[in-house]
């Protein structure tokens, strides 16, 4: 094959054959060699891992899987290649072999995810690998690796290097920017798909087609950019992401469930073989957590999440940068073990103040994690002026939502407590002072 559009998978976009349909009424073309990848045991396990995990406790229809999302990302990768094939610099830099490596990486980008992966990763336990590193064990051995070599003439290490985020040459830098960047195949699918299944409009309120049509290379020719025709669509995508974090991913009840799972996992992880447990699908992993919990305090947390009666911890109070800046800054982006100690110190202080026992596991502190969201900056090409400008320099929307770190405005510091103690904690006359004192005791 001589051109990118002659790649069988890209050509299949227009053929109308070998299609599988995913929501919302999207056709994904599957060639025989793609079918071999998605029919592998390593990929099929993604069909039993939900994309949003605990979000379904708040948005009941958000039960879509990483299998569905991965097919959506693969389809998006085909659309990116089909559009960028018309960019002379992209076509000169990216060979069909590079492009096929990119398609595989897009399809398999979530291969290393285990159930409830992101909340568990956020606690940053030394025994817990990144899901990118965990994917290596699936990519480098077994039927999947054989398929890559035999059917695609691609070495598994080539895919690992692209997914690792450490590109070694210009073509890899270009492709990596399509996989993970301000505008990438992952974000364009998950914003729309998560919004669709959660039943909210926010992640779909941007012109995805217009954005894809505007794709080009940046001024230095080593990463993705957009033309000025895509500026408004890009602004709306930034806003969509902001609102999805505000209303879905960091909804207070979703964060309560997240804090409960994190605390239970931290209690139980010394008793778990994570290499074995992380290979499980969702229900078996939950069963493994229950088995490790036995009748200890972690069981109460797990029962509230996965037992016969949904019982989430109640929000006692919350702080954002503009409400209580000093207290927010004291607690935000602290390492997770520090938050656990702070919550335990607060439980002790509250026990004294209320003259009743508040157990350490009955109070949870939830705060923005140490790792910040990536700021949204991308080059905008103005062909008539023969120049590039940064989107943040020409867009007040992006300047506000990307340059100002939106973590501080969306991701709040929250204190959650078991329903049996939450109301009494809310009534404490010196609640902010006690939280500040707990933080001081924690150091």
Residue 261 and residue 195 share a domain: no
Cα–Cα nearest to 337, from 318, 363, 316, 365:
365
Predicted pLDDT of residue 403: 56
CB 73 within 8 A of CB 185: yes
Q: Read out DSSP for 126-157?
A: TTPPPHHHHHHHHHSSHHHHHHHHHHH---HH
Residue 284 and residue 432 share a domain: yes
Residue 188 and residue 141 share a domain: yes
Residue 197 and residue 289 share a domain: no
Predicted pLDDT of residue 127: 82
Residue 144 and residue 8 share a domain: yes
3-state helix vs strand vs coil in the chain, percent to 5:
60, 10, 30
| Sole residue written with tokens 């409400």 | 323
Residue 206 and residue 112 share a domain: yes
Predicted pLDDT of residue 108: 96
Residue 97 and residue 13 share a domain: yes
Q: What is the rounded distance in angstroms from the CA atom of residue 175 to the CA atom of residue 81?
A: 10
Cα–Cα nearest to 283, from 67, 40, 69, 47:
47
Predicted pLDDT of residue 311: 96
Residue 319 and residue 235 share a domain: no
Residue 184 and residue 304 share a domain: no
Q: What is the rounded distance in angstroms from the CA atom of residue 33 to the CA atom of residue 359?
A: 55
Beta strands (DSSP E) in 232-329 are: 314-319
Q: How far apart are the first and last CA of the chain?
A: 62
* CA distances, 272 to each of 179, 198, 258, 282, 370 (Å): 32, 32, 19, 15, 25
Residue 386 and residue 267 share a domain: no
The whole domain housing 308 covers: 252-370+409-442
Cα–Cα nearest to 316, from 349, 360, 364:
364
Global pTM value: 0.94
User: In CATH, what number is assigned to the domain containing residue 241?
Assistant: 1.10.3210.10
Predicted pLDDT of residue 377: 81
Q: What is the rounded distance in angstroms from the CA atom of residue 131 to the CA atom of residue 160?
A: 12
pLDDT averaged per 10 residues in sequence order, the chain, 443 residues: 88 88 96 96 96 96 97 98 96 96 97 94 87 86 90 94 86 95 95 98 96 97 96 94 94 97 96 93 97 96 96 95 88 94 96 94 93 77 95 86 70 95 94 95 93
Structure tokens at 394: 């020409």
Q: How many domains does the chain have?
A: 2
């Amino acid at each position: 094959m001589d051109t990118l559009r002659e790649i069988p998978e890209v050509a299949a976009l227009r053929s109308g054959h070998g299609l599988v349909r995913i929501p919302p009424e999207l056709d994904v073309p599957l060639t025989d060699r793609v079918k071999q990848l998605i029919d592998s045991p390593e990929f099929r396990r993604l069909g039993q891992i939900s994309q949003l995990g605990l979000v379904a406790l708040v948005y009941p229809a958000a039960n879509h899987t990483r299998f569905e999302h991965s097919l959506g990302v693969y389809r998006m990768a085909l659309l990116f290649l089909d559009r960028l094939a018309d960019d002379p610099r992209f076509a000169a830099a990216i060979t069909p072999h590079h492009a096929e490596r990119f398609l595989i990486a897009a399809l398999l980008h979530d291969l290393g995810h285990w159930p409830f992966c992101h909340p568990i990763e956020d606690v940053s336990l030394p025994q817990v690998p990144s899901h990118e590193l965990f994917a290596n064990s699936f990519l480098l051995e077994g039927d999947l690796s054989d398929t890559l070599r035999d059917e695609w003439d691609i070495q598994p290490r080539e895919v690992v290097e692209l997914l690792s985020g450490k590109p070694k040459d210009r073509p890899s830098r270009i492709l990596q920017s399509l996989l993970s960047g301000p505008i990438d195949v992952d974000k364009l699918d998950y914003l729309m798909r998560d919004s669709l299944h959660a039943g909210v409009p926010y992640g779909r309120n941007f012109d995805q087609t217009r954005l894809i049509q505007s794709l080009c290379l940046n001024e230095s020719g080593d990463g993705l950019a957009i033309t000025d025709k895509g500026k408004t669509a890009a602004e709306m995508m930034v806003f969509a992401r902001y609102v999805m974090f505000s209303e879905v991913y960091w909804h207070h009840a979703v964060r309560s469930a997240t804090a409960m799972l994190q605390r239970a996992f931290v209690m139980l992880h010394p008793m778990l073989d994570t290499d074995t447990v992380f290979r499980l699908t969702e229900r078996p992993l939950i069963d493994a957590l229950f088995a490790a919990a036995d009748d200890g305090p972690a069981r109460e947390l797990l029962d509230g999440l996965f037992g016969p009666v949904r019982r989430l911890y109640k929000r006692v109070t919350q702080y954002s940068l503009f409400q209580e800046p000093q207290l927010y800054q004291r607690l935000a982006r602290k390492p997770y073990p520090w938050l656990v100690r702070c919550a335990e110190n607060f439980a002790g202080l509250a026990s004294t103040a209320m003259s009743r026992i508040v157990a350490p596991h009955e109070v949870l502190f939830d705060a923005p994690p140490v790792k910040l969201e990536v700021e949204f900056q991308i080059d905008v090409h103005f062909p008539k002026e023969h120049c590039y400008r940064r989107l943040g320099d020409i867009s007040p929307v992006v300047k506000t939502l990307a340059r100002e770190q939106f973590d501080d405005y969306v991701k709040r510091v929250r204190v959650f407590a078991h329903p049996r103690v939450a109301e009494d904690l809310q009534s404490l006359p010196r609640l902010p002072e006690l939280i500040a004192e707990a933080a001081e005791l924690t150091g």
